[in-house]
């Protein structure tokens, strides 16, 4: 009797172990811990630091109502941004700007990386991906100094090779176990550096579909970049991870600005032009869900719902909830009155004219 109980207890032990480790959620769910980095879907905030809220007087160049910290708190795990060179007081600085630093300047790359590091310090079971658009061809040393200045390089994952795709990617568990929880891709890095091996050239590891969509009938799963791939089968056999762009630009504007009024349809789980339908379409094309999906106004939809569905995640833990409503000055989140908004639109137009005149 005693022996039997002992044996029963012994057979239960491994179960107890797995229950304990399974209780540790990785990226908000225990079910993701044992899956490879490339075998889950990460929700991405397109142009993460470019905000459309009180801070920017509701700039029409803003892609999100809530900042990077709130994005991460809500489950976003990929953050994209554009890096531009800016002359400040006679010295070269690397700023996050939307198309032009005259249009929307969200500060230095280093200060944004510090914000992300602060979040990662406090959230030790999460793997975060950064995707930098290298608008002014910053070198690995230029970018690397911003990473080390922010101290976030300590979390950076270094791939086995910066020029060759790995056969397999680590699981979230092993990235978390090694505290190499930051994946960094740069579009593009023509000369990856062995001194900064964590800076991965995006198109060596990832392919994307078309991103310049102005009509909800435009979405396609076909590879657009790198241009060398051409067909879906070439993209698939290349072994690269798939980043699915799913956001809509306004059609009749001089500058590219996000289509805000249609965001609830764009980020919905079902319906014509929805994120959910795009994920399903592309899942059938590639026989697995995209590794990354990139959206504007991440809270609307909510976009997270389509990503949870792709991951088979229910009952995610550790997320803070955020309103799915658009943020407007009228909703009480901004300063009152419409005058300011018109003022900001005018300022944008003036800035663009100035930028064009200066040829920047
Ligand atoms: C990807 O994850 C799914 C769900 O856990 C699993 O069924 C599948 O075997 C995994 N594929 C690979 C290649 O790891
Ligand atoms: C981000 O937004 C939240 C909510 O508005 C605010 O409390 C926080 O200070 C902001 N963080 C940064 C780094 O701007
Ligand atoms: C540049 O000059 C401005 C205005 O004098 C100042 O506010 C800012 O801190 C300076 N920036 C640097 C990097 O020195
Ligand atoms: C660290 O990463 C390696 C390679 O992915 C993996 O084999 C190892 O288990 C990881 N260590 C921990 C503590 O997770
Ligand atoms: C996007 O859709 C519109 C309306 O169907 C069409 O006129 C336009 O050519 C499409 N653009 C692309 C790039 O497919
Ligand atoms: C946003 O997209 C919808 C659907 O295509 C369109 O009806 C609307 O005019 C667009 N808004 C702007 C400002 O382009
Ligand atoms: C999107 O918002 C518009 C305007 O508020 C509303 O009429 C429409 O039903 C909403 N669509 C979805 C899919 O939520
Ligand atoms: C999904 O595919 C269907 C069938 O080809 C197409 O009609 C629809 O526009 C696609 N939707 C999205 C959002 O990609």
Residue 105 in domain: yes
Going by C-alpha positions, the residue among 71, 49, 66 that lies closest to residue 326 is: 66
Q: How many domains does the chain have?
A: 1
Q: Whose CA is nearest to atom 11 of ligand 5?
A: 218
Q: Report whether residue 219 contacts ligand 8, using a CB cutoff of 6 Å.
A: yes
Q: Whose CA is nearest to atom 7 of ligand 5?
A: 215
How many whole angstroms from 354 Cα to the centroid of ligand 3?
22
Q: What per-residue confidence (pLDDT) applies to 145?
A: 97
Nearest bound ligand to CA 34?
1
Where does ligand 4 bind, in terms of residues with CB under 6 Å? 170, 174, 177-178
Q: What is the atom index within ligand 7 of the atom nearest the CA of 265?
A: 13
Residue span of the structural domain in which 219 resides: 36-322+333-358
Residue 14 in domain: no
Going by C-alpha positions, the residue among 24, 286, 312 that lies closest to residue 173 is: 24
Residue 88 in domain: yes
User: What is the phi/psi pair of residue 149, to 5°?
Assistant: -60, -35
Going by C-alpha positions, the residue among 68, 27, 69, 26 that lies closest to residue 46 is: 68
Q: Report whether residue 89 contacts ligand 3, using a CB cutoff of 6 Å.
A: yes
Where does ligand 5 bind, in terms of residues with CB under 6 Å? 215, 217-218
Query: Catalytic residue numbers?
Result: 46, 98
Please check the confidence at residue 5 and state whether its pLDDT lies above 90. no
**Mean pLDDT, residues 70-94:** 96
Q: What per-residue confidence (pLDDT) applies to 169?
A: 98
How many percent of the chain have pLDDT more than 90? Answer: 80
How many whole angstroms from 162 Cα to the centroid of ligand 6?
41
Peptide bond into 302 cis (omega under 30): yes
CB 243 within 8 A of CB 206: yes
**Mean pLDDT, residues 168-172:** 98
**Mean pLDDT, residues 160-177:** 96
**Mean pLDDT, residues 294-299:** 98
Q: Whose CA is nearest to atom 12 of ligand 6?
A: 250
Please check the confidence at residue 314 and state whether its pLDDT lies above 80. yes
Please check the confidence at residue 11 and state whether its pLDDT lies above 50. no
DSSP 325: S
pLDDT by residue (tens digit) across 262-276? 999 999 999 999 999
Going by C-alpha positions, the residue among 79, 77, 85, 84 that lies closest to residue 63 is: 79
Structure tokens at 47: 């142009």
Residue 9 in domain: no
Question: Could you write out the DSSP letters of every residue in 250-277?
Answer: -SS-SS--B--TTHHHHT-SSSTT-HHH
Q: What per-residue confidence (pLDDT) applies to 359?
A: 35
Q: What is the atom index within ligand 1 of the atom nearest the CA of 34?
A: 5
Nearest bound ligand to CA 249?
6
Structure tokens at 16: 């107890």
Residue 134 in domain: yes
Residues 6+ away with beta carbon under 8 Å from 204:
162, 163, 164, 165, 192, 240
Please check the confidence at residue 130 and state whether its pLDDT lies above 50. yes
pLDDT by residue (tens digit) across 96-124? 999 889 889 999 999 999 999 999 999 99
Residues 6+ away with beta carbon under 8 Å from 338:
329
Rounded distance between C-alpha atoms, residue 77 and residue 71, angstroms: 8
Please check the confidence at residue 326 and state whether its pLDDT lies above 90. yes
Please check the confidence at residue 19 and state whether its pLDDT lies above 60. no
Q: What is the atom index within ligand 4 of the atom nearest the CA of 177?
A: 14
Please check the confidence at residue 216 and state whether its pLDDT lies above 90. yes
User: What is the phi/psi pair of residue 266, to 5°?
Assistant: -60, -40
Q: What per-residue confidence (pLDDT) applies to 301?
A: 98
State the pTM of this model. Answer: 0.88
CATH code at position 73: 3.20.20.190
Residues belonging to the chain: 360
**Helix pair 275-286, 303-311: axis angle to 10 deg:** 30
Cα three-residue angle 333-338-341, rounded to 5 degrees: 80
Q: How confident is the model at residue 88 (pLDDT cuts 50, 70, 90)?
A: confident
Mutate to test the pocket of ligand 4, among 160, 174, 176, 183 (most ligand atoms within 8 A of CB): 174
Please check the confidence at residue 75 and state whether its pLDDT lies above 80. yes
Residue 11 in domain: no
Other beta carbons within 10 Å of 180: 17
Residue 216 in domain: yes
Q: Report whether residue 271 contacts ligand 7, using a CB cutoff of 6 Å.
A: yes
Going by C-alpha positions, the residue among 137, 351, 174, 60 that lies closest to residue 166 is: 174
Residue 13 in domain: no
Q: What per-residue confidence (pLDDT) applies to 336?
A: 33
Instruction: Sort strands 223-225 and 206-209 into parallel, antiparallel or unpaired.
Output: antiparallel
Nearest bound ligand to CA 90?
3
**Mean pLDDT, residues 195-214:** 97
Q: Whose CA is nearest to atom 7 of ligand 4?
A: 174
């Amino acid at each position: 009797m005693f022996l039997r109980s002992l044996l029963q207890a012994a057979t239960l032990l491994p179960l107890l172990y797995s229950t304990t480790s399974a209780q540790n959620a990785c990226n908000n769910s225990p079910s993701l811990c044992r899956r490879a980095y490339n075998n889950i879907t990460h929700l991405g905030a397109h142009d993460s630091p470019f905000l459309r809220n009180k801070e920017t007087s509701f700039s029409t160049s803003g892609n999100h109502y809530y900042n990077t910290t709130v994005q991460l708190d809500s489950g976003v795990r990929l953050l994209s941004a554009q890096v531009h060179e800016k002359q400040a007081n006679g010295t070269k600085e690397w700023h996050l700007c939307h198309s032009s630093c005259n249009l929307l300047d969200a500060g230095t790359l280093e200060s944004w990386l510090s914000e992300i590091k602060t979040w990662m310090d406090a959230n030790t079971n999460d793997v975060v991906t950064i995707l930098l658009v290298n608008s002014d061809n910053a070198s690995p040393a230029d970018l690397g100094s911003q990473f080390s200045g922010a101290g976030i390089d300590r979390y950076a994952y270094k791939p086995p090779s910066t020029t060759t795709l790995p056969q397999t990617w680590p699981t979230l568990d092993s990235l978390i176990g090694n505290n190499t929880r930051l994946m960094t891709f740069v579009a593009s890095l023509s000369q990856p550096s062995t001194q900064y091996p964590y800076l991965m050239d995006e198109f060596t590891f990832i392919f994307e579909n078309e991103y310049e969509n102005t009509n909800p009938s435009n979405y396609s799963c076909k590879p657009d970049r790198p241009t060398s791939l051409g067909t879906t089968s070439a993209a698939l056999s290349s072994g690269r991870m798939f980043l699915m762009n799913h956001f809509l630009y306004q059609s009749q504007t001089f500058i590219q600005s996000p289509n805000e009024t249609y965001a609830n349809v764009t980020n919905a789980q079902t319906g014509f032009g929805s994120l959910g339908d795009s994920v399903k379409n592309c899942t059938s094309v590639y026989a697995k869900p995209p590794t990354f999906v990139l959206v504007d106004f991440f809270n609307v939809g909510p976009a997270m719902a389509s990503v949870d569905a792709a991951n088979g995640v229910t009952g995610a833990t550790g997320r803070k909830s955020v309103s799915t409503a658009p943020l407007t000055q009228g909703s009480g989140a901004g300063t009152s009155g419409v005058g300011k908004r018109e003022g900001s639109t005018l300022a944008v137009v003036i800035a663009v004219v100035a930028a064009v005149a200066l040829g920047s």
